[in-house]
Amino acid sequence: MVLPQAIAALIDLLGQAADREALSHDARLDVVSAVRRAIVHKRKAGRKNDERLDRAYADFRTGTRGLELYRKHIPNFRKLSRWRRRVEGDRLLKTLNKRAEREKKRRPSPTNRAGELSLRQSVPGNCRPDNSL
Closest CA to 71 of 99, 59, 95: 59
What burial letters (b/e) apply to 21-37, b meaning 16+ CB within 10 Å?
Answer: eeeeeeeeeebeeeeee
Confidence (pLDDT) at 79: 96
In angstroms, the CA 89 to CA 60 distance is 13
What parts of the chain have a pLDDT lower than 50?
133
Q: Are 58 and 41 in contact, with CB atoms under 8 Å apart?
A: no
Whether this prediction's pTM lies above 0.85 is answered by: no
Confidence (pLDDT) at 87: 97
Extents of the domains making up the chain: 5-39, 51-106
